[in-house]
Amino acid sequence: MLILFVATVLISKASGFYSAGDHVEVLTPANFDSKVVNDDSVWIVEFYAPWCGHCKSLTPEWKKAAAALKGIVKVGALDADEHGSFAGRFGVQGFPTIKVFGGDKSKPTDYNSARSAQAIVSEALKQATSLAQSRLSGKSSGGSGSGSGGSKKTGKQEDVIELTDSIFNKEVLDSKDMWLVEFYAPWCGHCKKLAPEWASAATTLKGKVKLGAVDATQFGELAQRYGVRGYPTIKYFPAGAKLDAEDYSGGRTADDIVAFAEAKLEQFAEPPEIRELVNDAVFQEECATKSICVLTILPDILDTGAAGRNEYLDVLTEMGDKYKKRKFGWVWSFAGEQAGLEESLEMGGAGYPALVALNMKKSAVSHMRSGFTKEFINEFLGQVVAGRGAPHPIRKDIPKLRDATPWDGKDGELPVEEDWDLDDVELDDFEEPKTEL
């Protein structure tokens, strides 16, 4: 019973607010296009964040609406905190955001009515009726029609790498790159239909993920090695060491393929480096060119010791890993080391550590006012991402940072005081001046 309970909890957490029994389709970048964009049905989709209070309040109403709309309008939900870059594709800036995907899936509309089950159902039925009337009048066929999102493919066939058994190991297995490999047959109709989608995805992913193709009729032993029994078969080879291939589980449009690859990139991306502000160049690289720079001023090493400082840096590293898909800059210094920067950003007044989210492009800064814990930092950054981080203008120009000596990882040492030998002191030098009466 205990194992079953733990498994249930883990499954519940993995799917966010919703489970299969809620009639709410749990959406991810890997399945969004195949389920929503390329579907003829009307969809109403919630983009939410697990920490968002308004999202928690909406959840029971969303479930009621989904149950009422079952078989009429499809209802989905996507964790935009976990899949932020994908949610940005639809202009999601706050939580919850509700989008209606009607006849033209490339142009979803915002839902701005009340957040009650009744209002959601009414709007969904209105959208479904509108789509049906459009189809009846011949103005819209709905869905994607071609099954490819309705977009013209602009991929270059040369971006698909033709693989043979003589170069497969070197090109794929021995490389550090992520690969998607299609095993095809020249006579296969489904393979011919996939070809422009595969080329389009290859062009879009160029420089990030490599897409290859193997003629399985010509290189049968290679295809057999990976259990190819039908065409086309797509295999996923992760970045780094490649112990074995995995079956590709996404759709067969360019958008599906790209979404699958980008989701894998996010999942296995290296966490960002938490860089010490040892000079102005670091500041320019991490803060001036990034959308958001998370800047932390830690206490002096004499106040924390090496162990205490490393605990703070470990917290920042974990947060950097959690928000790695956001491409934030992450920098730190310690109290007084970059005094001009602290003064410009109004940091340190409430003590250390002090953390801010800095947007140099907008010349704005948001201060974290709570304790320096993973939970509070996660809540603060979640608010920043949602556009509710209470930013204010930077009131004073940020000076060029001074060159500083990098921390050596050791405990601090108190300054050595000069010893005084009283035998060397001439007491006459300290005689009080005489005052005549």
Two tokens at 322? 């959690």
Catalytic residue among 44, 55, 69, 319: 55
- Asked whether 96 and 54 are in contact (CB, 8 A), the reply is yes
Contacts of 243 (CB under 8 A, 6+ apart): none
Neighbours of 169 (CB within 10 A): 12
C-beta separation of 276 from 407 below 8 A: yes
Whether 191 is catalytic is: yes
Q: For residue 241, give every residue at least 6 positions away whose Cβ sits within 8 Å of its Cβ, in sequence order, or none.
A: none
Q: Which of 188, 282, 288, 313 is catalytic?
A: 188
Yes or no: say if 83 and 264 are a contact pair by the CB < 8 Å rule.
no
Residue 293 designated active-site: no
User: Measured between alpha carbons, how far is 199 from 205 in angstroms, rounded to an integer?
Assistant: 10
Active-site residue identified among 24, 36, 52, 297: 52
Q: Which two tokens stand for residue 370?
A: 């709570």
The number of beta carbons lying within 10 Å of the beta carbon of residue 298 is 24
Residue 391 CA to residue 387 CA, distance in Å, equals 9
256 to each of 36, 133, 194, how far by Cα in Å?
11, 29, 12
Whether residue 102 contacts residue 109, with contact meaning beta carbons closer than 8 Å, is answered with: yes
Is the bond into 96 cis (omega within 30 degrees of 0)? Answer: yes
Q: List beta partners, residue 47.
A: 78, 97
Given 191, 335, 358, 360, which residue is catalytic? 191
Beta bridge partner(s), residue 46? 77, 98
Peptide bond connecting 272 to the previous residue in cis, omega within 30 degrees of 0: no
Please give the positions annotated as active site.
Answer: 52, 55, 188, 191
